Structure formats: C-alpha cells, structure tokens
Copies of this chain bind each other. A is one copy, B any other.
Amino acid sequence: MKKKVKVYVSLKQGVLDPQGKTIESSLHSLGFKEAANVRVGKVIEFEIAESADLENQIHDMCKKLLANPVMEDYRFEVEEVVRP
C-alpha cells in the first residue's frame, strides 16, 4: 500500500527570512501595502510504501536531509495515495 507524505518545513520563529522580506517589498511595490510578516517555507511531497515504522522513517528523513535542525521546524501529514 502506498502512502503520500507531505512535509512542511518552515523557518523557526526569530530566524530572519530574506526571501520573505523580498516578497514583502515586491508586494508593497505592486500596491499590496497591507501585506506584512511574509514568511516562506517548503512543502516536500513524496510517495512511500506503508510500513509499521513509517512515522519514524519520516522523522529520520527530516532530521537527516529535509529540514535544517538549526534554523527550521518541520511537521508532516501522511495520506492515502489517490490515483486519478
């Protein structure tokens, strides 16, 4: 059985977000003056075979590769794979 995993990686509170700052100033110059506190994160999606220790495997993937433990937080969701 295949599972779909979505890992959400975001910068920790207090970590400067230059990309967010750039987007914020671009939004302002486009006239969207109200937009504030722009922060940018990643969503990493993948499929993987279901297994008893799947959650541990995903934590392992995040700690080893997908998220930088010093600057980033992560959370994830595991869903059924829906074939179109």
A42 touches B42 (CB 8 A): yes
Interface size on A, residues (CB 8 A): 32
- Name A residues whose Cβ lies closer than 8 Å to a Cβ of B: 8, 10, 20, 23-24, 26-27, 30, 32, 34-49, 51, 57, 60-61, 64-66
Contacts of A60 in B (CB 8 A): 32
Partner among B30, B38, B51 whose Cβ is within 8 Å of the Cβ of A46: B38
A46 touches B42 (CB 8 A): no
Q: How far is the CA of A47 from the CA of B33 in the complex (A)?
A: 11
Closest Cβ of chain B: how far from A64's Cβ, in Å? 6
Partner among B27, B41, B49 whose Cβ is within 8 Å of the Cβ of A42: B41
A46 touches B24 (CB 8 A): yes
A8 touches B38 (CB 8 A): no
